[in-house]
Amino acid sequence: MTLLERAAVRADRGAVCTDRAGARDMATATAAATTVTAASVSNASQPHVVLGGRYRLGAQLGGGSEAYVNEAWDLATARAVAVKIFRSTDSADNAPFQRELDIHGRLRHKNIVKVLDSGETGDAGDHHQESRDYVVMELVGGKDLRGIMQHNPASPEQTAAWMTDIARALAHIHRRGIVHNDIKPGNILVDFDSDPHGPGIAKLADFGIALNGRHAAPNSSSGTPHYLSPEEVCGGASTTASDIYSLGLVALECLTGTKAFPGTPLESMVARTLGEPRLPGTVRRRWSMVLHAMTDPRPAGRPSASQAVGMLRRLSW
């Protein structure tokens, strides 16, 4: 796949981000459940839409080209959840959904968003109606890193804590032969509700293009252009070391508030094949050693996820 194709295909994953204000009032909503059609799901902020007779949809939290995510109220457990609804109406050929189910759905880790349930919208008996797949997840009470960084860079302490959390999640999945393949700020959620006096708990989300050997590599490009590793830009395979490189770029962006390789997707990708990211003088020496290691152009020169956990943990002491 050419550089341009890689840039074009992944550029819009996670493009929509909306305000979730007001959605917590869903508990008091009493509107009746309705049969869900594809049309009503596309307009999913309607409070009367109930998926599977159980999940009453609320405000949209985000989404991109393949799926959108809404808050929902679980009528069975009386708890708020998040529902990711996939845009494809072809269940048999919905690779992102299958990956979320088969790969993400089996993972249990404190730093990975938990999948709770899955289903299909629409009336199964009505063959004229389009239906869509969805997965139900724990609702992370906070923001994704992209939203957090829109306002300010994170402090070195916050960055160390969040990156340690995500490196732990990566160590967990890498041990199981899984490559996340899309490490970027929009796929890292920080749960402030569960850690009100600390930095918040970072959780990894979105396994829509994850690799585990059983699922073929996605026929679109792997990863989002600004965070792709140099080996992926050059057409090589995405490996566990590629996840580490991408996390290094996210860490650098957290600290500085700017993308390590800015510009158009193509400019950004070409730049990283020509050299390592430039670290501004404001990045402390101990941090720069870790970032240099994680973004080593040679995959073999990068730490494993468990080694990265050790390096990042030492930064917060």
Ligand X SMILES: Nc1ncnc2c1ncn2[C@@H]1O[C@H](COP(=O)(O)OP(=O)(O)O)[C@@H](O)[C@H]1O
Binding mask 2-41 for Mg ion (x = CB under 5 A): ------------x---------------------------
Query: Does 64 interact with ligand X (rule: CB under 6 A)?
Result: yes
Query: Does 206 interact with Mg ion (rule: CB under 5 A)?
Result: yes
Binding mask 172-191 for Mg ion (x = CB under 5 A): --------------xx----
Cα angle 61, 84, 167 (rounded to 5 degrees) comes to 80
- Of 76 and 234, the one with the shorter C-beta distance to ligand X is 76
Tokens encoding 283: 């990045």
| CA–CA separation, 256 and 100 (whole Å) | 32
From 6, 56, 63, 158, residue interacting with ligand X (rule: CB under 6 A): 63
Catalytic site residue 93?
Answer: no
Query: Does 232 interact with ligand X (rule: CB under 6 A)?
Result: no
Q: Tokens 């890498």 — which residue?
A: 174
Q: Which does 265 bind (CB under 5 to 8 A by kind): Mg ion, ligand X, none?
A: none
| CA–CA separation, 241 and 244 (whole Å) | 5
Query: Does 189 interact with ligand X (rule: CB under 6 A)?
Result: yes
- Of 64 and 265, the one with the shorter C-beta distance to ligand X is 64
Q: Which does 67 bind (CB under 5 to 8 A by kind): Mg ion, ligand X, none?
A: ligand X
Q: Tokens 């493009």 — which residue?
A: 15
| CA–CA separation, 145 and 165 (whole Å) | 13
The answer to whether 96 touches 208, Cβ cutoff 8 Å, is yes
Segment 190 to 209, residues that bind ligand X, using CB under 6 A:
205-206, 208
Segment 84 to 113, residues that bind ligand X, using CB under 6 A:
84, 113
Q: How far is the CB of 184 from ligand X (least distance, A)?
A: 9
Nearest one of 317, 297, 164, 311 to 242, comparing CA atoms: 297
| CA–CA separation, 51 and 262 (whole Å) | 40
